[in-house]
Amino acid sequence: MEMMNGKEYIESLRKYRPRIYFMGKRIDSVADDPILAPHVNAAAMTYELAHDPRYAEIMTATSHLTGEKINRFTHIHQSTDDLVKKVRMMRLLGRKTGSCFQRCVGLDAINALYITTYDVDQKYGTDYHERVKEYIRYVQKNDLMVAGAMTDVKGDRSLRPHQQADPDLYLRVVERRGDGIVVRGAKAHITGVANSHEIIALPTRAMGEEDKDYAVAFAVPVDAEGVTMIFGRQTNDLRRLDGDIDCGNAKYATVGGEALVVFDDVFVPWERVFMCGEYDFTSELVETFATFHRQNYGGCKVGVADVLIGASACIAEYNGVEGASHIVDKLTEMIHMAETCWCCSLACSYEGFKTPSGAYMPNLLLANVTKLNITRLPYEWSRLSQDLAGGFVITTPSELDYRNPETREMVEKYLKGRAEIPTEHRLRMFRLIENLSIGAELPESMHGAGSPAAQKIMIWRRSNIDMKKEEAKRIAGIKRDEDFERVRGNQK
């Protein structure tokens, strides 16, 4: 099968019948529901650009498994060049959609599984790696969108999975059979899952021996029996039903259409099981996935920042103040922060390395630095955008009032900026800035791929602080702190 284009992707969703609920009602057709439409459109862009000759180099790759041309979202990275092209793809799509385009979690999941299952097989003689390769061939051949499902609901955070009062608060194996396993539990905040074809579930944390039933990784179709999705609320989500101005980004939404995914005794055949009880490899799998996913954020969020910076520059022009020094200064600050994040994403990609599996992964330290910056700097460039846009960014009248014959002339007259700029253009730009700088984009920047504490833990672990101390002592002329080392040794 050849790579799908955007229309073919949307049509392919009609072959699936996932069980999805939103606002108390079941969604009948993912491809045709107005609430899901922006998320579907954003994902469709990942398919559409793969057919655009201008972007073929970064949107497509050659499969190392089949030798066929494939969408890069189904590729296993074979070089640092692949890692760099991945984040270039992320920035391009962020810029084209001004939104989350949802496929990166699945891409990171298959790459993390490819690397980790190789290591599991080397220790235990299992055949997980071959299962993963066969599954990836299937995904590549059919050009499928895969949702990665890692985060469990976790219940009492002070307790490990096996200690929870309700054992289902982490996804677990409840039955092992000759033909497969049965799993029960839930995954939360799952990006793009409603309009995906497949779900890959991964463990959410490092596990101990008593948690081995929770050390499970597998893949199922989105409409597998026993899978239920409850689609999450987003800021101003029902504005999509009122028209296209008030949405701000009506065609592509803002973030990735996250859902709670419940697995109610779901059967998984063995060929789709990629970890089952190997608790000592959960830490590696989680860390590998997190590294890939944190690498992304200096790409996708900077692509979205490109749109916000452009919108901010436009509104300054519409307000007639584009030449003011403080406006130029604010825009320059926004650009500087965005490009700083972009530098981090490129750096961790160029500093990537080959794993024993043959696949490449980014530099772990720099990937975490990338994501930690994204938990901070988008808040600052959003603040600057709100500052230079002015108060109408949060007090603009509704599109319904703009369309209402009784109030249209008043809105048209009194929300005018420069005489030569249509009032509607100014309204649309205010709403876009509101959407990108005030809506759900910021919490996703904070919590997507892990909250700041997770990145700080990894940065500390990977910082090689002992080497830094030794270099400081050498330059200071301190050969050895013998008394201090003896005391510290005794304290340990």
Query: How far apart, in whole angstroms, are the C-alpha atoms of residue 187 and residue 190?
Result: 7
Q: Is the pLDDT of residue 492 over 70?
A: no
- How many C-beta atoms surround the C-beta of residue 221 within 10 A? 16
- By C-alpha distance, which of 429, 447, 428, 391 is closest to 309? 429
Task: Identify the CATH homologous superfamily for domain 285-466.
Answer: Butyryl-CoA Dehydrogenase, subunit A, domain 3 (1.20.140.10)
pLDDT for the residue 174: 98
The 3-state DSSP class for residue 492 equals: coil
pLDDT for the residue 372: 97
Q: What is the pLDDT of the chain when averaged over all its residues?
A: 95
- pLDDT bucket at 484, cuts 50 / 70 / 90: low
Cβ-contact 383, 370 below 8 angstroms: no
Task: Give the residue numbers annotated as catalytic, written as ranges.
Answer: 100, 104, 191, 258, 293, 297, 300, 444
pLDDT for the residue 249: 92
- pLDDT bucket at 483, cuts 50 / 70 / 90: low
Q: Is the pLDDT of residue 487 over 80?
A: no
- By C-alpha distance, which of 371, 379, 365 is closest to 439? 379
Q: What is the pLDDT of residues 441-451, one digit of tens each?
A: 888 899 988 88
Q: Is the pLDDT of residue 486 over 90?
A: no
- pLDDT bucket at 380, cuts 50 / 70 / 90: very high
- pLDDT bucket at 480, cuts 50 / 70 / 90: confident
Domain ranges for the chain: 285-466
Cβ-contact 106, 146 below 8 angstroms: yes
pLDDT for the residue 242: 85
Q: What is the pLDDT of residues 157-211, one digit of tens each?
A: 999 999 999 999 999 999 999 999 999 999 999 999 999 999 999 999 999 999 9
Query: How far apart, in whole angstroms, are the C-alpha atoms of residue 485 and residue 271?
Result: 53
